[in-house]
Amino acid sequence: MGIRFILMVNKQGQTRLAQYYEYLTIEERRALEGEIVRKCLARTEQQCSFVEHRNYKIVYRRYASLFFLVGVDNEENELAILEFIHLLVETMDRHFGNVCELDIMFHLEKAHFMLEEMVMNGCIVETSKSNILGPIQLLEKAS
Amino acid sequence: MNPFSSGTRLRDMIRSIRACKTAAEERAVVRKECAAIRAAISENDQDYRHRNLAKLMFIHMLGYPTHFGQMECLKSIASPGFPEKRIGYLGLMLLLDERQEVLMLVTNSIKQDLNHTNQYIVGLALCALGNICSAEMARDLAPEVERLLQFRDPNIRKKAALCTIRIIRKVPDLAENFINSAASLLKEKHHGVLLTGVQLCTDLCKISSEALEYFRKKCTEGVVKVLKDLANSPYAPEYDIAGITDPFLHIRLLKFLRVLGQGDVDTSDCMNDILAQVATKTESNKNAGNAILYECVATIMSIEDNGGLRVLAINILGRFLSNRDNNIRYVALNMLMRAITVDSQAVQRHRATILECVKLPIDSQDSDASIRKRALELVYLLVNESNVKPLTKELIDYLEVSEPEFRGDLTAKICSIVEKFSPEKIWYIDQMLKVLSEAGNYVKDDVWHALIVVITNASNLHGYAVRSLYRLVQTAGDQEILVRVAVWCIGEYGDMLVNNTGFLDMEEPITVTESDAVDVVETAIKRHSSDLTSRAMCLVALLKLSSRFPSCSVRINNIIVQYKGSLVLELQQRALEFGAIVDKHRNIRSTLVERMPVLDEATYSGRRAGSVPAVVSTSQGAPINLPNGVAKTTSAPLVDLLDLSSDDVPVPSSSGGDFLQDLLGVDLSPSSSQTDTNQAQKRGTDVLLDLLSIGTPPAQSNSSIPDMVSPSQDSKSAINVLEQLSSPSAPAGGVSTPPGSSSMMDLLDGFAPNPSKPENNGPAYPSIVAFESSTLKVTFNFSKQPGNQQTTIIEANFSNKTFDAYTDFIFQAAVPKFLQLHLDPASSNTLPASGNGSISQKLRITNSQHSKKSLVMRIRIGYKLNSKDMSEEGQINNFPHGL
């Protein structure tokens, strides 16, 4: 199980999406998110995108005002996770059209649906954008 | 419809939450919303269930408790429509806590959905199961999942594969049921199924050795072929990233190969070609390509030895290091750190590049502290005897320009490197002095203590060291630690500084007058930033100089006098005591301030290693150099020159006995507490005897020494004794002086020749069998050093009772605190079989409670018998009395 959690955080440090693949209580999550956000958002553009925190390795990437942070274990390929974040953003872009913080906020459940099609139990399931978005488009047609 | 619960739309709730200025406002809004949702739940309001669940997810994301929504999720899942199920499952996965009853309730719904005719609903159920399933659920639903691994739609198969991973992790016993169906997934064409199928196989291998064997035999070639096809595949728009088809699948396959190849030569051979192809052909100008290369390197380093591939892999890492992208550098350093254990020679070749990473300038856009820290770690691992000199030079040069935050780490590493690998003492001293003058304040206490120990042991370098220190202090006088070492050395070897004793060819000539040397100490003691330890060291140095430089004696006395009023008790006391010595006791002063005896490196390094002070193992022991400038061989372990640091905190009630010990630098062992002044005095006296060593052993037999002082004399300060001792004109054995101490005064008085009596080495002690087991015999022979009844020399002989030779033989011993133990190196570390020869080893043991307590010792003996580690332990209680 490589991926432990995925966070989307705006540049004020507010969580906009959180998905955990291991059980943490709500207090633990709040504390963890606070620590990670403080650590990662303080870093400069030149610093590398990997931060070690507790027993996680955080791989993060910034898109405009939104930070994507992925917590992985030590076995994971950091560069691949960076690429995965980009794939996630591209997929959301394709669906929302230039995704922004508000899209994710107001369509939280859709963002989750997409993520669910991409990651399951901490493993990547699918890397083709049309395969990922298929069920979601179906759902939109239905409603 | 309920008028309260219909409330706000999701969008409005988010807006009102965002509009909140304070956390309290936000809490109020959330509380109101939660109340409305609860109301809706209790009304069983179905129209807004979807909206309420969406709100709850948002509230949950903000970090508020939402457990009351879990039952709503269950209801939603149980409803027939796909959209309701969709939100219900999502809610379940997000809001679920570890409460088992909810899981139990949902098991049945999931089971039904797994058998649903709508494949999307089956997919939903699989996804939920894969994310939350417990061991019970795993057992219940495993057959369904196994069936779904062969489902017609690949999108179901891929989810079933990941679901299986969760199941076998929860219930490893189920693993073997899945081996065959997992293997068939490897033949798929659909990327999603392949990706998850490979992951499933990897996990199966980790859980079951049976699976690992199976996949090694049946699937290695298949996996290699999949990777080959993938690497050579034409452009596939759906999976293309930066010109590479599905890098994620590449990486998964490489990981799987790693698991298969690890520990199996044949399987590793099978994959050599494809690994070489991936390593050479993959485009490395984009992140995706580098991710694959990185994984490929990891696989090459883990599978069974293939020299050529490893060189290729390390070269890729070398290329990574010179990349401008810090992410690439980061992973390269990480991987090199792992690679160093596999092939350190190959990593050595990239030393220069790694060193460049340490030295990235802070203001350049490439800078990243974490990268430099990592690079430094790596450099540290790369140092060995052959490259220590150039590497240390590079690092020290860099120390001069590095920024403060990095200096602590850097200094610690340099010191550690220099200590570990220094080829010769002069080089060690040079490097340490450079570090001290650049970043002395970052140097830890034990490091500069060790430096002093080394200097005292290098008798031919005393002059060189003190002159170098003198020069450095002129330019880097603000480095406190440097000043401390300089002050100590000037105190000890000040005369060598002035006389240019032991001048080396490479040195620049230097002229220092006595008053110049005193200047250094005076500046140091007066510097307002000097701390107590430095000042106390300065006072000791001044005392020593006052004897070495008679011409400066008055000036020195004036400096010392200034501290008689110091508010710091330690300084005040030292100043008073030293003042008294300078003023009143000129005749013994020069003897009192003799150069420190050589410190025992082995004892010191043993102590630094954190072991019990008394435990000294032969392996750490460097042979002790015999002192040169010192008149006599005191029992070195007793002496701890660095006593200052051991009592940094001034002891307010420090008695005369302590003072003596301080002055003479006797190690304050915890046992000599204040309550035991008698003993402390005895020790003091003993050292006095030692130090003033008249050359001949005291006439009395050892047991009478305590009698001289202790019984009659109470805890009056030893300085009294000193004063009396040093005024030979005082009537010997003055009226008030008990007879015991008068005899001692006789002894010291004017260094009159003692009535020579035949040397008494004490009784000869019988040898003992200290330890005997079925395999080993240890005998001890005892002898005493003339003139030092506390110290016993033990010659230990080890003999082997078996028919096989022992190798890597090591003898270790531990003694209680009242004993001091020193082990000389053993004669050999191989013990021949059946008593055909033995190992002998000398132990020197000093009993501070001599004639009160007898010796006792715990021993441990380790050796290799047929390359198997053996160890024996025992306690020795049968020492002859009186040792």
B804 and B741 share one domain: no
Higher-pLDDT residue of A132, B366: A132
> Is pLDDT above 50 for B709?
no
pLDDT one-digit tens code per residue, A10-30: 988 899 999 999 888 888 999
In a domain, B266, yes or no: no
Size of interface A-B (CB pairs under 8 A): 149
Q: State the smallest CA–CA distance between residue B208 and chain A in angstroms.
A: 16
Q: Collect all residues of chain A within an 8 Å Cβ-Cβ radius of residue B162.
A: 120-121, 123, 125
Q: State the smallest CA–CA distance between residue B326 and chain A in angstroms.
A: 5
pLDDT score of B181: 92
* Mean pLDDT of all residues in A25-50: 89
In a domain, B30, yes or no: no
Q: Collect all residues of chain A within an 8 Å Cβ-Cβ radius of residue B246.
A: 127
Q: Smallest Cβ distance to B57: which of A16, A109, A129?
A: A109
CB proximity list for B577: less than 8 A, separation 6 or greater: B659, B663, B719
B524 and B389 share one domain: yes
Residue B365 — very low, low, confident or very high, per pLDDT cuts 50/70/90?
Answer: low
Contact A19, A12 (CB under 8 A): no
> Is pLDDT above 70 for B5?
no
Mean per-residue pLDDT over chain A, rounded: 91
**Could A29 and B63 be called an inter-chain contact, meaning their C-beta atoms sit closer than 8 Å?**
yes
Contact B131, B165 (CB under 8 A): no
Q: State the smallest CA–CA distance between residue B376 and chain A in angstroms.
A: 16
Higher-pLDDT residue of B606, B611: B606
**Could A125 and B327 be called an inter-chain contact, meaning their C-beta atoms sit closer than 8 Å?**
no
Separation between Cα atoms, residue B737 and residue B726, nearest integer Å: 15
Q: Collect all residues of chain B within an 8 Å Cβ-Cβ radius of residue A111.
A: none
The segment with the largest mean pLDDT, out of B218-222, B375-379, B412-416, B451-455, is B218-222
Residue B763 — very low, low, confident or very high, per pLDDT cuts 50/70/90?
Answer: low
H/E segment holding residue B845: strand B838-847
pLDDT one-digit tens code per residue, B517-554: 888 888 888 888 888 888 899 988 888 888 888 888 88
Contact B328, B337 (CB under 8 A): no
> Is pLDDT above 60 for B660?
no
Question: Smallest Cα–Cα separation from B796: which of B822, B816, B775, B817?
Answer: B822
Q: Collect all residues of chain B within an 8 Å Cβ-Cβ radius of residue A129.
A: 238
- In this structure, chain A runs to a length of 143
Question: Smallest Cα–Cα separation from B286: which of B247, B236, B242?
Answer: B242
B564 and B688 share one domain: no
- The CATH number of residue B855's host domain is 2.60.40.1230
B295: left (phi over 0), alpha (psi -120 to 50) or beta: alpha
pLDDT score of B494: 85
Calculated CA dihedral for residues B864, B870, B873, B876, nearest 10 degrees: -40
- Nearest residue in chain A measured CA to CA from B158: A125
B574 and B632 share one domain: no
B574 and B634 share one domain: no
* Mean pLDDT of all residues in B328-352: 86
First-residue to last-residue Cα distance in chain B: 99
> Is pLDDT above 80 for A131?
yes
Separation between Cα atoms, residue A107 and residue B97, nearest integer Å: 23
pLDDT score of B613: 37
**Could B248 and A15 be called an inter-chain contact, meaning their C-beta atoms sit closer than 8 Å?**
no
Residue B847 — very low, low, confident or very high, per pLDDT cuts 50/70/90?
Answer: confident
- Nearest residue in chain A measured CA to CA from B119: A135
* Mean pLDDT of all residues in B38-44: 86
- The CATH number of residue A67's host domain is 3.30.450.60
> Is pLDDT above 70 for B818?
yes
**Could A108 and B57 be called an inter-chain contact, meaning their C-beta atoms sit closer than 8 Å?**
yes
Question: Smallest Cα–Cα separation from A128: which of B224, B286, B155, B283?
Answer: B155
Q: Smallest Cβ distance to B98: which of A19, A23, A128?
A: A23
- Nearest residue in chain A measured CA to CA from B250: A80
Contact B86, B124 (CB under 8 A): yes
Residue B870 — very low, low, confident or very high, per pLDDT cuts 50/70/90?
Answer: confident
**Could A143 and B238 be called an inter-chain contact, meaning their C-beta atoms sit closer than 8 Å?**
no
**Could A138 and B120 be called an inter-chain contact, meaning their C-beta atoms sit closer than 8 Å?**
yes
CB proximity list for B743: less than 8 A, separation 6 or greater: B700, B708, B733
* Mean pLDDT of all residues in B686-691: 40
pLDDT score of B443: 86
B557 and B431 share one domain: yes
pLDDT score of B199: 94
Question: Smallest Cα–Cα separation from B382: which of B394, B367, B370?
Answer: B394
Contact B350, B311 (CB under 8 A): no
Q: Smallest Cβ distance to A46: which of B196, B248, B326?
A: B326
Identify the domain containing residue B788 by its residue range.
768-876
Q: Collect all residues of chain A within an 8 Å Cβ-Cβ radius of residue B163.
A: 120-121
B433 and B499 share one domain: yes
Mean per-residue pLDDT over chain B, rounded: 78
pLDDT score of B872: 84
In terms of Cβ atoms closer than 10 Å to its own Cβ (0-12, 13-18, 19+), residue B642 is: buried
Residue bearing tokens 């500084």: B497
Contact B800, B831 (CB under 8 A): yes
B515 and B643 share one domain: no
**Could A78 and B330 be called an inter-chain contact, meaning their C-beta atoms sit closer than 8 Å?**
yes
Q: Which of B747, B777, B794 is the last residue of a domain?
A: B747
- Nearest residue in chain B measured CA to CA from A76: B295
Query: Is the C-alpha dihedral spanning B837, B842, B843, B846 positive or negative?
Result: positive
The number of folded domains in chain A is: 1
Residue bearing tokens 């080394």: B454
Pull the structure tokens for residue B137: 């659920």
**Could A142 and B82 be called an inter-chain contact, meaning their C-beta atoms sit closer than 8 Å?**
yes
β-bridge mates for residue B795, sequence order: B781, B842
pLDDT one-digit tens code per residue, B157-212: 999 999 999 999 999 999 999 999 999 999 999 999 999 999 999 999 999 999 99
* Mean pLDDT of all residues in A84-92: 95
pLDDT one-digit tens code per residue, B619-651: 333 333 333 333 333 333 333 333 433 333 333
Q: Smallest Cβ distance to B371: which of A48, A51, A120?
A: A48
Contact B683, B661 (CB under 8 A): yes
Identify the domain containing residue A32 by its residue range.
3-142
Higher-pLDDT residue of B31, B566: B31
DSSP B214-256: HHHHHHHHHHHHHHHHHHHPPP-TTTEETTEE-HHHHHHHHHH
> Is pLDDT above 60 for B587?
yes
Q: Supply the ipTM of this predicted assembly.
A: 0.95
Contact B599, B639 (CB under 8 A): yes
In terms of Cβ atoms closer than 10 Å to its own Cβ (0-12, 13-18, 19+), residue B484 is: buried
Residue bearing tokens 């003055």: B734
In a domain, B168, yes or no: no
| Percent above pLDDT 90 for chain A | 63
* Mean pLDDT of all residues in B208-224: 93
- At B535, which amino acid appears? R
Which of A35, A125, A130, A132 to mutate to test binding with chain B, by most B CBs within 10 Å of its CB? A125
Q: Smallest Cβ distance to A139: which of B54, B86, B199?
A: B86
Residue B237 — very low, low, confident or very high, per pLDDT cuts 50/70/90?
Answer: confident
B710 and B800 share one domain: no
Contact B610, B616 (CB under 8 A): no
B827 and B693 share one domain: no
Helical ranges in B500-585 per DSSP H: 514-526, 532-548, 553-562, 569-584
Three-state DSSP at A60 gives strand
pLDDT score of B7: 57
B815 and B669 share one domain: no
Contact A72, A56 (CB under 8 A): yes
Q: Collect all residues of chain A within an 8 Å Cβ-Cβ radius of residue B239.
A: 127-128
> Is pLDDT above 70 for B750?
no
> Is pLDDT above 60 for B440?
yes
**Could B120 and A23 be called an inter-chain contact, meaning their C-beta atoms sit closer than 8 Å?**
no
Residue B105 — very low, low, confident or very high, per pLDDT cuts 50/70/90?
Answer: confident
| Percent above pLDDT 70 for chain B | 80
In a domain, B13, yes or no: no
Q: State the smallest CA–CA distance between residue B82 and chain A in angstroms.
A: 8
pLDDT one-digit tens code per residue, B423-435: 888 898 889 989 8
Neighbouring C-beta atoms of residue B135, cutoff 10 Å: 12
Residue B122 — very low, low, confident or very high, per pLDDT cuts 50/70/90?
Answer: very high
pLDDT score of B826: 83
Q: Smallest Cβ distance to A139: which of B57, B83, B330?
A: B83
B733 and B773 share one domain: no
Which of B21, B124, B248 to mutate to test binding with chain A, by most A CBs within 10 Å of its CB? B248
Q: Which of B682, B713, B747 is the last residue of a domain?
A: B747
In a domain, B207, yes or no: no
The number of folded domains in chain B is: 3
